[in-house]
C-alpha cells in the first residue's frame, strides 16, 4: 500500500481508525509519532508498541453481554485463536455446543438454526465466522488460525500455506476498503452481531477463499460458492434482495463443477443440485432441466468408478433434484425455514 499524505486530520483519523479497529489510543499514538502520513510499517510499529503498554486501551473489543434469558445457557462456547497473518492474539472463535440447536436447511442448503430446550436463541450463522480485528483475516474454520492444544500443550499452526498467508498479508488494504465501503463499525467481536456485520464477515471470508483459489488451492471455489449461499440467507433474513448474491453463487458452483473442485463425490452432486435449484429459482427452466440431464448422464461414469459412496451420492441428489422439479409450482418452495 502506498503512503497516504493528506492535510485533513479528520480523514487521517478515520482511516487510521479502520487500521486500528477503532482503538483511539492507537490512533492518537500514531499521529503523535508519525503525523498525518499513513504508512503500513509505522502502523505495525504502533501496534507492537501499544501491545506492551497495559495502561492503553486494548485492540480488541469486549464481547457484548447477551440478553438475560432467565437461566438459559449459551448455545456456543468460545476458544481463543491467534492470527497467522498479523500475530493478533486472543481472537474469539465460537463453536456450537452439541445438541444446543436444531438445524434445518434453506432451499440452497444454507443452515437455519433454532434453539433447543435450555439454550438461548441465536442465529449462529451470524457469528460463526472468526474475524481478526487487526488485519481482517476471516474464516469459519478455526484451522485457518493458530490454535493452542490444551491437552498436548502445543501450538497448532494454521493450515494456510506460507504463500497464501503472504498474499493475505499483502492484501490488507483491500479488506480495509471493503470495511470502509460497508460504512459500519467493525464490531466483529460482539455477539450477537448485527446483520450487516455478519454479512461482511462472510464477504471477508470469501476474500480469503478467493486468494486461495487464485493460488490453485483445492476446494476453495466450492467454499466460495457455499459462502455466497450463506450470505444470501443472511440477506433474506435481513430483508435484503439476495438476487445478485445467488447469481454469484451460481457462477462459482458452475466453475467448481467444471474444474471438479470438490472434496468428495457427495459435494460434486450436491453442487449439481444447487446449480439446478438456483436456475429454477430464477425461473430459467431450460437451464435447470439441463442439470437433471447432466446428473442422469453421469450414472454410467459413476458406476464405472466402482465407488459405492459416489453411486449413493448421485442417486440421493438426483432424487432430490427430480422431486424439486416436480414441486416447482409450489408457492412455498422457496420459503426460508423459521
Q: pLDDT digits over 250-267, tens only?
A: 999 999 999 988 889 899
**pLDDT exceeds 50 at position 7:** no
- The answer to the question of residue 137 being in a domain is yes
- The answer to the question of residue 285 being in a domain is yes
- The answer to the question of residue 68 being in a domain is no
Residues 251 and 292 in one domain: no
- Predicted local distance difference test score (pLDDT) of residue 8: 66
Which three three-digit cell numbers place residue 72? 438459559
Range from 14-18, 74-78, 211-215, 246-250 carrying the lowest mean pLDDT: 14-18
pLDDT tens by residue, 217-238: 999 999 999 999 999 999 999 9
- The answer to the question of residue 13 being in a domain is yes
Predicted confidence band at 58 (pLDDT cuts at 50, 70, 90)?
Answer: very low
- The answer to the question of residue 252 being in a domain is yes
* Mean pLDDT calculated for residue range 236-241: 95
Which three three-digit cell numbers place residue 31? 499521529
Residues 249 and 311 in one domain: no
**pLDDT exceeds 50 at position 134:** yes
**pLDDT exceeds 80 at position 286:** yes
Domain count, the chain: 3
**Whole domain around residue 113: which residue ranges?**
76-263
Residue linked to cell 456456543: 76
Question: For residue 90, how many other CB atoms are within 10 A of its CB?
Answer: 12
pTM of structure: 0.80
Residues 207 and 306 in one domain: no
Residues 22 and 106 in one domain: no
Last residue of a domain, one of 208, 242, 263: 263
Residues 331 and 220 in one domain: no
Last residue of a domain, one of 236, 263, 290: 263
Residues 26 and 165 in one domain: no
C-alpha to C-alpha distance for 37 and 18, rounded to whole angstroms: 15
Last residue of a domain, one of 218, 239, 263: 263
Q: Which residues pair with 91 in a beta bridge?
A: 81
Residues 96 and 244 in one domain: yes
- The answer to the question of residue 316 being in a domain is yes
- Predicted local distance difference test score (pLDDT) of residue 65: 44
- The answer to the question of residue 202 being in a domain is yes
**pLDDT exceeds 90 at position 57:** no
Residues 149 and 292 in one domain: no
Question: For residue 334, how many other CB atoms are within 10 A of its CB?
Answer: 13
- The answer to the question of residue 10 being in a domain is yes
Residues 115 and 207 in one domain: yes
- Predicted local distance difference test score (pLDDT) of residue 248: 98
**pLDDT exceeds 80 at position 170:** yes
Residues 45 and 145 in one domain: no
Residues 226 and 172 in one domain: yes
Residues 225 and 177 in one domain: yes
Amino acid at each position: 500500500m502506498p503512503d497516504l499524505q493528506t492535510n485533513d486530520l479528520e480523514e487521517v483519523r478515520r482511516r487510521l481508525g479502520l487500521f486500528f479497529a477503532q482503538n483511539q489510543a492507537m490512533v492518537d499514538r500514531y499521529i503523535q509519532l508519525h503525523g498525518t502520513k499513513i504508512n503500513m510499517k509505522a502502523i505495525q510499529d504502533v501496534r507492537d508498541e501499544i501491545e506492551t503498554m497495559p495502561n492503553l486501551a486494548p485492540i480488541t473489543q469486549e464481547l457484548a453481554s447477551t440478553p438475560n434469558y432467565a437461566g438459559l445457557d449459551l448455545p456456543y462456547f468460545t476458544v481463543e485463536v491467534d492470527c497467522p497473518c498479523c500475530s493478533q492474539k486472543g481472537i474469539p472463535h465460537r463453536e456450537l455446543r452439541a445438541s444446543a440447536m436444531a438445524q434445518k436447511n434453506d432451499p440452497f442448503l444454507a443452515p437455519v438454526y433454532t434453539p433447543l430446550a435450555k439454550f438461548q436463541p441465536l442465529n449462529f450463522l451470524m457469528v460463526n465466522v472468526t474475524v481478526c480485528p487487526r488485519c481482517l483475516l476471516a474464516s469459519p474454520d478455526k484451522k485457518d488460525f493458530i490454535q493452542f492444544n490444551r491437552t498436548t500443550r502445543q501450538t497448532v499452526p494454521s493450515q494456510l500455506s506460507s504463500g497464501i498467508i503472504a498474499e493475505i498479508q499483502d492484501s490488507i488494504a483491500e479488506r480495509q476498503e471493503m470495511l470502509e465501503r460497508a460504512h459500519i463499525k467493525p464490531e466483529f467481536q460482539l455477539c450477537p452481531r448485527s446483520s450487516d456485520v455478519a454479512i461482511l464477515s462472510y464477504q471477508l471470508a470469501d476474500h480469503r477463499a478467493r486468494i486461495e483459489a487464485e493460488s490453485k488451492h483445492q476446494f476453495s471455489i466450492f467454499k466460495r460458492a457455499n459462502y455466497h449461499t450463506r450470505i444470501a440467507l443472511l440477506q433474506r433474513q435481513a430483508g435484503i434482495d439476495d438476487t445478485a448474491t445467488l447469481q454469484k453463487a451460481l457462477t462459482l458452483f458452475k466453475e467448481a463443477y467444471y474444474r471438479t473442485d470438490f472434496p468428495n463425490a457427495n459435494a460434486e452432486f450436491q453442487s449439481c443440485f444447487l446449480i439446478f435449484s438456483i436456475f429454477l429459482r430464477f425461473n430459467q427452466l431450460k437451464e435447470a432441466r439441463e442439470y437433471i440431464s447432466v446428473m442422469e448422464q453421469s450414472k454410467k461414469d459413476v458406476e464405472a468408478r466402482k465407488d459405492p459412496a459416489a453411486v449413493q451420492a448421485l442417486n440421493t441428489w438426483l432424487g432430490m433434484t427430480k422431486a424439486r422439479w416436480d414441486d416447482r409450482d409450489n408457492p412455498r418452495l422457496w420459503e426460508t425455514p423459521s
